[in-house]
Amino acid sequence: MQIADKIDALGLLCPLPVLKLRKRIKALKPGDVIELKADDPAAVVDVPHFCSETGHTLIDTLEETEFMLFRVQKAD
């Protein structure tokens, strides 16, 4: 899977990780994948909610020791 863009939102609290995701995903083409790295505990709820509200696809969520990694595919 090719990642079109990456966001490092470490240290940012709700709602900033999702706001960054919302802004950056607009510049992508439909089908592109963006990766968001966040350590805000609320992101595990906020990112899936954002995807369901906007029609984007949450491909996966990887939980690392210090952060979570979300891969989101832009809707067509």
Active site residue ranges: 14
Task: State the Cα–Cα distance between residues 70 and 65, nearest whole angstrom.
Answer: 14
Q: If you search the block for the tokens 């952060």, which residue do you land on?
A: 67
| Rounded CA separation 59/14 (Å) | 21
